[in-house]
Amino acid sequence: MLLFVIAMSIAISCSILGDFFVQQGATAAKSSTNTSFLGRFFNVFRHRKMLIAVGLLTCHFAGYTLAMRLAPVTVVVPLMSCTYIVNIFLARTVLHEQVTRLRWAGVAVIVFGVIVLGIWS
């Protein structure tokens, strides 16, 4: 059980941080003067934040894979949906993005689904 909690903690936290760094790296690469598609694509990976994102998302996948070995998919996948909830709060507070009411409603549906699955599991 402890190993499962550790694996899920790694998967969730690395996913959230990885998404944050992907957004930051993509924004930094947007100012590229390269006009070709391949040039713009590979320019993204020259930014330090994007390399950090790749490392974090690799750790996320390792934790997720370990969690899948330790628990049923019906437990792991709903717990991973917690990343959507945290990401929308971070997008609003840290990145100062506009979050519409429809997106907040989507978060409410996710929270409700996680609660229902948690009660019935």
In the predicted structure, residue 9 carries a pLDDT above the cut 80: yes
Give the integer Cα–Cα distance in Å for 80 and 92. 20
Return all residues near 14 (Cβ < 8 A) that are at least 6 apart: 56, 57, 59, 60, 63
Give the integer Cα–Cα distance in Å for 120 and 117. 5
Instruction: Kindly report, residue by residue over 47-89, the tens digit of the pLDDT.
Output: 888 899 999 999 999 999 999 999 988 888 888 888 988 899 8
- Residues above pLDDT 90, as percent of the chain: 40
Residue-level pLDDT at 1? 86
Which of 95, 104, 106 lies closest to 20, judged by CA?
A: 95
Residue-level pLDDT at 79? 85
* Structural domain span for residue 19: 2-120
The model's pTM is 0.80
Directed axis angle between helix 82-93 and helix 73-80, to 10°? 10
